[in-house]
Amino acid sequence: MSNLTEGPPPRSILKSVFGFEDFRPHQESIITEVMAGRDVFAALPTGGGKSLCYQLPAVIRPGLTVVVSPLIALMKDQVDAAKAAGVEAGCLNSAMDPSERRKVFNSLNSGRMKLLYIAPERLAIDGAYERLADWGCNAVAVDEAHCISEWGHEFRPDYRQLSRIRNVFPGIPMMALTATATQRVQDDIITQLGLDNPHVVRAGFDRPEIFYRVEPKRDALRRITDFVTARKGRSGIVYRATRADVEKTAAHLRDRGIDALPYHAGLPDEIRRKNQEKFKTDRIPVIVATVAFGMGIDKPDIRFVIHGDLPKSLEAYYQETGRSGRDGDDAEVLLLWSAGDIAKSMFHINKLEDPGERNRAGVSLRKMLLYARTFACRRKVLLAHFDEEHPGSCGGCDICAGEVESVDATEDARKLLSASVRTEQRYGSHYLVDIVRGTVTEKIKDRGHDNLPTFGVGADESRKYWLGIADDLEAGGFVFRDEERFKALTITGEGKELLFGRTDFRTIRRVGGRKESIHAGTLKFASGGSGSEEKELSGTDLSLFEKLRALRFRKAKEIGKPPYVIFPDRTLRALAALRPHTGEEMLDCPGVGEKKLANWGELFMGAIREFENDEN
């Protein structure tokens, strides 16, 4: 492969174009290898700066860098960000109108284009690779590369044909980039793309800025509403499993004064696009969505992600929660789950025709369930799935922060199992809870179940408590709900071991009386160009930050772009703290390059001067 190290040094481009003094971990080594013409596989966590690894070399080297990207919205965001930094970039996709496509083709034909984002489906069109060759393609980056692997959680058949790239362009460097790859998926990606002795980077998957919290799902709408209300005004995503739950949750939040809109495949394209745009541009703080939403979002300041239902895999959970805190500031995630989620997922898994696919889905669900039920450090369990060790005691999850405790519920579990056995395992959890609580209903009296030895043995606990025990028994595999017999609670072999005293049963409960701490939204700024030290904003600096944020929102609305395309929050905080008055001083702020200084410098420095005059 050819050596492509000609041109200005990467570090000078990093500052002059992208506005940063230092690379993030692994970026410099990846860029160095790519510039030397070597293939690269890079697994970097969300927010780890993958896009810079192909954008910066594209600025330096002659010719065109092609980026294969799975979603149209993601292309648009990245093109907007690249152009804001002064990089000639464009995309080709089915959503573009003829005039937009003509502009892109003109730029490509003239040789001005440095970055072209393209969907894998477009490469299947006859003549697509020949056109790329005519346009001077000299590097290819495959984003979301886990989509090429059948072992990945978002396998896409269209990604398989990307293996042709190596045959068509044998002498150019290829990059495979992903945020979610186990060792098995990594090996499959390298094989499928035909990467030649690639430089392999597996960065730490830990996201220390994210606080992880998992709770049993009792009243999902109430809990989601309470969580969002406590973080009013902060940007967040609420994921629900079905379109109906998306609509119901969004409406529930709006009824309680929270600006939230739905996003799912059942909405008209125009409505879905408008709702996403409102979220991206900060016109609404909360989007409620199915998992179809997210890969196309490049919004860095999402402060929380809620899963109202159990995800299908740890890879999906990691990627979806990773959409929070991409700017490096504190964020938090909440997972609500129930035994009903498991039953629904198993129903869909059992309908899969391919045995291999069915087996992989079942294994993924079981690993997700183990994570939800664990009393170990959640970060330790999550990272272990990606073959990464963590010592635990992270302080950044509900377990380590002491928000929950492990409770021995063996005797209560046996009471509920006994009630099931004594009623011939014919009834569901609600009926059995009535028995153990001693609730005299007409059906219980008619059947004589008020005379059972287990009747009323749990009268000192609430109905909510007993239903929680039933859910935890199902989650632990001690019972299952027989859908063919009206959800009768049926005891498994493991449940019999528990009933007969050969094993015990523990459950996790929130520590009573402890107020939930809110971990998201600490306002910090990098006090120097290197960002090696951070300080917290307070007092008038915080007021100035809000003023600059409002200014950014107005200007972004005028130009029809997301606010973070102008400056991310971290840059605004640095501006508020350092208060630059000259272009040279402003260039010392992280995220300010020469192009952005030319476009926005005087406007924001003028706002700073006006604020200081008002102070005096």
pLDDT digits (tens, 9 = 90+) for 466-501: 988 887 887 677 888 776 677 788 999 989 999 999
Read off the DSSP letter of residue 199: E
Whether the per-residue pLDDT at 1 is higher than 50: the answer is no
Q: What gap in Å lies between CA 54 and CA 39, rounded to an integer?
A: 12
| b/e 89-112 (16+ beta carbons within 10 angstroms → b) | bbbbbeebeeeeeeebeebbeeee
pLDDT digits (tens, 9 = 90+) for 192-225: 999 999 999 998 889 999 999 999 887 899 999 9
**What is the architecture, at CATH level 2, of domain 210-397?**
3-Layer(aba) Sandwich (3.40)
- CATH placement of domain 407-510: 1.10.10.10
Is residue 413 within 8 Å of residue 505, measured between CB atoms?
yes
Whether the per-residue pLDDT at 100 is higher than 50: the answer is yes
Residue 261: half-sphere exposure toward Cβ, Cα within 13 Å: 18
Phi and psi based region of residue 541 (left: phi greater than 0; alpha: psi -120 to 50; beta: remaining) = alpha
Is residue 77 within 8 Å of residue 280, measured between CB atoms?
yes
pLDDT digits (tens, 9 = 90+) for 502-550: 999 988 777 765 556 666 545 555 554 444 455 677 789 989 999 999 9
Q: For residue 397, what are the β-bridge partners?
A: 212
Long-range pairs, 99-105, Cβ under 8 A, ≥24: none
Other beta carbons less than 10 A from residue 132's beta carbon: 21
- What number is the average pLDDT over the span 132-159? 84
Lowest mean pLDDT among 44-48, 242-246, 611-615: 44-48
Q: What gap in Å lies between CA 605 and CA 616, rounded to an integer?
A: 17
508, amino acid identity: I
- Centroid of chain to Cα 241: 15
Q: What gap in Å lies between CA 192 and CA 185, rounded to an integer?
A: 10
pLDDT at residue 511 in the model: 74
| pLDDT band for position 2 (cuts 50, 70, 90) | very low
Fold agreement (10-202, 407-510) = no
Token pair belonging to 201: 């980077």
Whether the per-residue pLDDT at 4 is higher than 70: the answer is no
Q: In this prediction, what percent of the chain has a pLDDT beyond 90? A: 55
Domain boundaries, the chain: 10-202, 210-397, 407-510, 524-615
pTM greater than the 0.85 cutoff? no
pLDDT digits (tens, 9 = 90+) for 158-177: 788 888 888 899 889 999 99
**What is the architecture, at CATH level 2, of domain 10-202?**
3-Layer(aba) Sandwich (3.40)
Token pair belonging to 518: 């809110």
Q: What gap in Å lies between CA 581 and CA 593, rounded to an integer?
A: 16
pLDDT at residue 535 in the model: 62
Whether the per-residue pLDDT at 295 is higher than 60: the answer is no
Q: What is the mean pLDDT of the chain?
A: 88
| pLDDT band for position 599 (cuts 50, 70, 90) | very high
- What number is the average pLDDT over the span 115-127? 89
Q: Of 297, 198, 288, which Cα lies nearest the Cα of 251? A: 288
pLDDT digits (tens, 9 = 90+) for 367-424: 998 899 888 899 999 999 888 889 999 999 999 998 888 889 999 999 999 999 999 9
- CATH placement of domain 524-615: 1.10.150.80
DSSP 31-84: HHHHHTT--EEEE--TTS-TTHHHHHHHHHSSSEEEEE-S-HHHHHHHHHHHHH
- What number is the average pLDDT over the span 564-577? 91
| pLDDT band for position 335 (cuts 50, 70, 90) | very high
pLDDT at residue 461 in the model: 93
Whether the per-residue pLDDT at 302 is higher than 90: the answer is yes
Which range in 122-126, 260-264, 365-369 is most confidently predicted, on average pLDDT?
A: 260-264
Using alpha carbons only, how large is the chain's radius of gyration in Å? 27
pLDDT at residue 6 in the model: 56
pLDDT at residue 91 in the model: 93
Q: Of 283, 224, 301, 288, which Cα lies nearest the Cα of 256? A: 224
Q: In this prediction, what percent of the chain has a pLDDT beyond 70? A: 92
Whether the per-residue pLDDT at 366 is higher than 60: the answer is yes
